[in-house]
Amino acid sequence: MKGKNFYFPMAIVEAVDEVKGVNVSFIDHRDAWCPCYVDWGPILKKNFKLLPVQYTFNYFFEFDEGHVSMRSLCSTLDSVAVNVPLVNATKST
């Protein structure tokens, strides 16, 4: 793939499919027969908090157990990392 330009997903699929021992498939999420669920927006909005403004900066992200830790460098200490809970806690009734 080095030195080539890929402008469409199928071009990438075709290039990777040329690798010996690799069988590539492209799943088009717009296809009616697609096995992927595509309407995640309402579910995510209901169950997860929005990422903080800093998520658009150059950070290293670690998602773990419903939290995101953002670090300016991979060597940033845990005590300096920004840790944000993402999962909305829901009360059982």
Residues 30 and 10 in one domain: yes
pTM of the model: 0.40
**Integer Cα distance of 27 and 36 in angstroms:** 8
Number of independent structural domains in the chain: 2
Residue 57, in any domain of the structure: yes
Residue scoring higher pLDDT (40 or 82): 82
In a domain, 43, yes or no: no
Name the pLDDT band for 54 (thresholds 50, 70, 90).
Answer: low
Q: Which residue has the tokens 């999420």?
A: 29
Residue 91 lies in a domain: yes
